[in-house]
Structure 1
Amino acid sequence: MTAHRFSEPLDLPCGIRLKNRFARSAMTEALAGANDAPNDGHQKLYTEWSKGGVALQMTGNVMVDRRYLERPGNVVVEDDTNLDALRAWAEAAKSGGSKIFMQISHPGRQCPIVVNTRPLSPSAEKLRILGLFGKPKAMTSDDIQDAIRRYAMTAEIAQKAGFDGVQIHAAHGYLVSQFLSPITNQRTDDWGGSLENRAKFLRQVYAATRLAVGKDFPVAVKLNSADFQKGGFTIEDSCQVAQWLEQDGIDLIELSGGTYEQMSFVNGTEEQQRESTVKREAYFLEYAREVRKAVSVPLAVTGGFRSVAAMEQAHIEDGIDMIGLARPLCVQPHAVNTILEGTAERIGINEDGLMIGQGRFGANAQNWLIKLINTVSQVEYYAWQMNRMSRGLMPQTDARNNAIGYFVWYLNRTTMLGLRRKFARRP
């Protein structure tokens, strides 16, 4: 496919036009200080990405509740206290011609113990990973209504600050995803049981958000294609939820997959890790084809895209409206420009150097700790690149064999940011 096909604009149902078919998918920056506000680092990072040619940027997890974070360093938006800083962030992200959506999120039980020892979740099912997460409290009806209100409030402030839209994070095992999955939602009231009941939280979050921002402001959702866990959220569930969201008036659905217990959004499913290089690309494309059959709303797919050929197939043959890119843009922030100019056949780096153990991503390493270190090291290598760009430096694209180093960097940084935040004075 020639580059001009990717250059075609995309009109969302609300009326906003995106200039091409590339989105920079959300990645947690962890750049906020103890005040949970965006800063100069966010501006530098998003300015660089905006110059890179993408039509749409999604922020990393912006938390709706200061008590519960995905990790220390998240931006939190509960009110308009940091409105000027938010405006500066939005302006920087749009400086090169891209649109910027704020990804609004609540971690649920995936809240590190250094932030809160008793996070909230639909049910009291603990996340057992190295003791990094506390035992959650099952949400009361008041907790649920408070969370719904918070999503809507954060979206309203994003609109006021000049963001072009919001994306409700309903994937990767965070709170909305926890409501959708039978593994983490074992409630017996109106918020659990049937898929219709499990989807009620997401639909009410969307309804409250839409009411807060109006019909002309884009509201998107990031949705799991599946949990990839036995007894979890399935592709059939995903298709049905997508249909309900389309009926409700959603503007864009971005498909991903997995949770902290099955991190398919990092390196694909275990089956894909054993496949050939071509088949390892576009982790969730097979599932996206099913969702594409179920809905006509604009659809984005993120996860694993590296070759232009795979992107072309997804866009032309499979009817995917937007290609979501994340990790490649941490090491090549202007990669989309090279694709649009027709000078790139492949983007990103060879990640094998980030792993310990045998096989790509340690797929043949049976020890669970090695698998965990490999997964975290991938994520943190790219977090390190974002940190560099936030300081005005360019990425270091040599993927050195230092998996344990990146793992330790994550533990140290998370702990230090968490402690600094815990003891900071608040107004």
Structure 2
Amino acid sequence: MNDVFAPAQLGPVRLRNRVIKAATFEGRTPDALVTDDLIDFHRAVAAGGVGMTTLAYCAVAPEGRTQREQLWMRPEALPGLRLLTEAVHAEGAAISAQIGHAGPVANEKSTRLRALAPSQMFSPLSMRPVRSAGIGDIRGIIAAHAQAARIAVEAGFDAVELHFGHNYFVSSFLSRRLNRRRDEYGGSLANRARLSREIAEAVRVAVGDSIAVLAKLSMNDGVPGGFWLDEAIQVAKWLDVDGHLDALELTAGSSLLNPMYLFKGDAPIAEFAAAMPQPVRFGIRLGGRAFLKTYPYHDLYLLEQARQIRSAVTMPLVLLGGITDRASMDTAMAEGFEFVAMARALLREPDLINRLKDEPTTPSLCIHCNKCMPTIFTRTRCVLEGSTT
């Protein structure tokens, strides 16, 4: 069994341990550029002991942002990105940039740019119609991923993580519910998976072996008629055989239609409503429980599905979901996963990894209230930060 706190190889990158800070949109880029606040956020978790932290979310194109304040990869962002990677490296950790295109999850009312989806649809986020991406749009987005990856290399990142989850652009193509195309990117699973495979190839060609390339793949989106585990297993097999990725991080849920399917635990409806302008605030208060469903939390809540992927592929896998203590980490290692990813627990305690290394029985203070989720619209944080209970 791998030791979670021993050094590990991720493609061409040597990590000091097998713990990755999962991508969590930080809400600290008001001008879509790196800020000192963003640097301090990642410096804290790097100093706290993770092997690698992940910058989230870096759009590959301006219309690929979920909201206007979100960082997007362009030459203007390079100076700040270099300061960020240097700060993380100074603390002994590696850093990855999560890159992707939001597709139908983009709020075009905020970005002021047209959102894109595999097929025409109505967005419950922007309350506007979303147009179907043309072949030219698709080709442009593939090229934008490659260019974003090249910028990541120039900025000093150790890895890029391709966002293939949560019904963002690539994930929406995988969904039978959202993808009703009749061309080479729709219909059969092979066609719906074409985009993910082409992006992985384009990014690998762009970066070579200079950095690691991961992908965050949904095992299912928690939406009736959407993408489910049986199809995810096959897509994972294709990505494995293609050989362009160094690891897959396994996730679930739909930011577009069922966000709580990933997070589990309490659904903070009142807090989400308070973070929204009218009339969205009124709508969430009135019907929020239909969108923000409650799913019981338990440790390692994605493990049962992730085992199915583990048994089907040989590439390294990153287990996410309900990993807050040493026992969960050791279970993941015993199940054959090479890395673990944590998010909410590190919002509460950025130094949790160092303390777990020193004292394996250290409990996490995260109570899975999910009240951190609405803070992404202002400044992502644990609302209980500093509390001991």
TM bucket (normalised to shorter chain) is 0.7 to 0.9
The residue matched to 1:104 in structure 2 has which SS?
A: strand
Work out which of the residue numbers 151, 154, 157 in structure 2 matches 1:157: 151
Distance 1:258 1:178 in 2: 12
Structure 1, 38-47 or 286-295: larger mean CA deviation: 38-47
Q: Does 2:105 align with 1:110?
A: yes
Distance 1:385 1:117 in 2: 23
Structure 1 residue identity aligned to 2:120: A
8 Å contact kept, 2:28–2:379: no
Work out which of the residue numbers 318, 338, 355 in structure 2 matches 1:300: 318
Corresponding residue of 1:341: 358
8 Å contact kept, 2:375–2:381: no
Distance 1:115 1:286 in 2: 38
Structure 1, 231-240 or 193-202: larger mean CA deviation: 231-240
Residue 190 of structure 1: how far off its partner (Å): 0.1
Residue 140 of structure 1: how far off its partner (Å): 0.4
The residue matched to 2:85 in structure 1 has which SS?
A: helix
- TM-score normalised per structure 2: 0.86
The residue matched to 1:7 in structure 2 has which SS?
A: coil
Work out which of the residue numbers 283, 295, 317 in structure 1 matches 2:301: 283
Q: Does 2:268 align with 1:251?
A: no
Corresponding residue of 1:192: 186
Distance 1:161 1:153 in 2: 12
- CA deviation digits over 1:131-188, x for unaligned, max 9? x342111000000000001010000010011011101000111111111111111111
Mapping of 1:128-207 within 5 angstroms? 128-129=124-125, 132-207=126-201
- TM-score normalised per structure 1: 0.79
User: CA 1:297/1:67 → structure 2, altered by over 3 Å: closer, same or farther?
Assistant: same
> Unpaired segments of 5 or more residues in structure 1?
355-376, 400-427
User: CA 1:332/1:383 → structure 2, altered by over 3 Å: closer, same or farther?
Assistant: farther
User: CA 1:255/1:133 → structure 2, altered by over 3 Å: closer, same or farther?
Assistant: farther
Corresponding residue of 2:280: none
Q: Does 2:389 align with 1:395?
A: no
Structure 2 residue identity aligned to 1:95: A
- CA deviation digits over 1:196-248, x for unaligned, max 9? 11111111111111111113421100000111222211111111111111122
Identity of aligned residues (%): 29
Distance 1:80 1:115 in 2: 19
User: CA 1:324/1:286 → structure 2, altered by over 3 Å: closer, same or farther?
Assistant: same
- CA deviation digits over 1:98-121, x for unaligned, max 9? 111110011101112222363111
Corresponding residue of 2:45: 49
Distance 2:105 2:93 in 1: 31
8 Å contact kept, 2:27–2:380: no
User: CA 1:273/1:37 → structure 2, altered by over 3 Å: closer, same or farther?
Assistant: closer
User: CA 1:387/1:330 → structure 2, altered by over 3 Å: closer, same or farther?
Assistant: closer
Residue 311 of structure 1: how far off its partner (Å): 2.5
Q: Does 2:317 align with 1:319?
A: no
The residue matched to 1:23 in structure 2 has which SS?
A: strand
Instruction: Kindly tell me the number of residue pairs found equivalent between the two proteins.
Output: 360
Structure 2 residue identity aligned to 1:96: E
Corresponding residue of 1:265: 262
Distance 1:5 1:64 in 2: 35
Structure 2 residue identity aligned to 1:267: K
- CA deviation digits over 1:243-281, x for unaligned, max 9? 1111222101000101021121222799x9665x6xx22
Residue 126 of structure 1: how far off its partner (Å): 2.0
Distance 2:385 2:83 in 1: 23
8 Å contact kept, 1:168–1:219: yes
User: CA 1:98/1:282 → structure 2, altered by over 3 Å: closer, same or farther?
Assistant: same
Work out which of the residue numbers 64, 88, 91 in structure 2 matches 1:93: 88
Corresponding residue of 2:24: 27
8 Å contact kept, 1:111–1:133: no
The residue matched to 1:61 in structure 2 has which SS?
A: strand
Distance 2:33 2:155 in 1: 13
8 Å contact kept, 1:64–1:104: yes
User: CA 1:177/1:398 → structure 2, altered by over 3 Å: closer, same or farther?
Assistant: farther
Q: Does 2:69 align with 1:73?
A: yes
8 Å contact kept, 2:20–2:51: yes
Work out which of the residue numbers 4, 7, 15 in structure 2 matches 1:9: 7
8 Å contact kept, 1:328–1:347: yes
User: CA 1:256/1:274 → structure 2, altered by over 3 Å: closer, same or farther?
Assistant: closer
Structure 1, 342-351 or 168-177: larger mean CA deviation: 342-351
The residue matched to 1:247 in structure 2 has which SS?
A: helix
Residue 71 of structure 1: how far off its partner (Å): 2.4
Structure 2 residue identity aligned to 1:127: S
Structure 1 residue identity aligned to 2:94: K
Corresponding residue of 1:411: none
Distance 1:383 1:345 in 2: 31
Residue 381 of structure 1: how far off its partner (Å): 4.6
> Unpaired segments of 5 or more residues in structure 2?
268-292
Distance 1:117 1:29 in 2: 22
Distance 1:307 1:17 in 2: 23
